[in-house]
Structure 1
Amino acid sequence: MSVVRPVTNRDNAYFFEGTSRGELRIQRCNACGVLRHPPGPACPDCGALDRGHVVAAGEGTVFSHVVHHAPQVPGKELPLVIALIDLDEGVRMVGEVTGVPPEGPDALQIGDRLAVEWNVIDEELTLPIWRRVEEQG
């Protein structure tokens, strides 16, 4: 199966090294402690080039979402639910949401809680995928 493979570079390699280990990593400025996503070479707050990362808990809240109907995406079945997720650590991340219908009463809603899971593409690539956290009780 063909899939769109992300371009990795020195700014984001740590992220994909983490996904291969089942870790959702967020870039952290080692100088001032600010978290940021997407990653970049310099801290947007203090300008430092000293970067590290933290491992996120892997949960967040839907800030917004779309249902992608076209064009076809290699390796994906349409429609595809894509969300902008407010991670509990305070950064936003875009991600594919699985296990929810694209429309109807059970469709994804703003404010729904999501948890990360792992989509193992092959031995070289694992991508985060999100699933709704069901209410307890």
Structure 2
Amino acid sequence: MESAGGLTRPVPQVSALTRPFWEGCRRGVLLVQRCCSCSGHVFAPQDFCRSCQSPDLEWVESSGEGELVTYTTIWRPQTPAFEVPYVVAVVALTEGYEMLTNLVDAEPGEIRVGAKVQVVFRDVAPDVTLPCFTVVSA
């Protein structure tokens, strides 16, 4: 998929470990690993639980609801394939894990730390859909 100036936007590389996550995104479902031993949620995808080191993880659906922890607005992109401005954010999901993502459909000057957010999905390549977040109106 082309972006600014007809340049190809870099996309994540799918691996055997991350495949369930990316397949969920293609279906419009945010998946996260949950530890079968301690019930902790694990993101980014790992081979073991970060809390108890158990290798017994399962994929479960996340609510996709959370709160904006921090963000930055990018005005000078790493590559011209990205249209500016865009917002890179850390979101704390209600399940207790954090995700680095993009905040979309919001004016940079109106974004506030602590805002309630909800996942939305954006197709960025024929076979890649990214989970992004948007501010939920109060």
Name the structure 1 match of 2:5: none
Name the structure 2 match of 1:128: 131
Distance in 1 between residues matched to 2:43 and 2:128, nearest whole Å = 20
Name the structure 2 match of 1:102: 108
1:82-97 paired onto structure 2 within 5 Å: 82-97=88-103
Q: CA RMSD in A?
A: 1.5
Greater share of residues in helix: 2
SS of the equivalent of 1:63 reads: strand
Q: Percent sequence identity over matched residues?
A: 28
Number of aligned residue pairs: 132
Spell out, residue by residue over 1:90-121, the C-alpha distance to the aligned partner (whole angstroms, 9 max, x if none).
11111111121222xxx210111111111022
Name the structure 2 match of 1:27: 33
Going from structure 1 to structure 2, the CA distance change for 1:73 and 1:131 (only over 3 Å counts) comes to farther
Is 1:37 paired with 2:43? yes
Unaligned runs of 5+ in 2: 3-7
Distance in 2 between residues matched to 1:16 and 1:33, nearest whole Å = 22
Unaligned runs of 5+ in 1: none
TM-score by length of 1: 0.87
Distance in 2 between residues matched to 1:110 and 1:102, nearest whole Å = 12
SS of the equivalent of 2:21 reads: helix
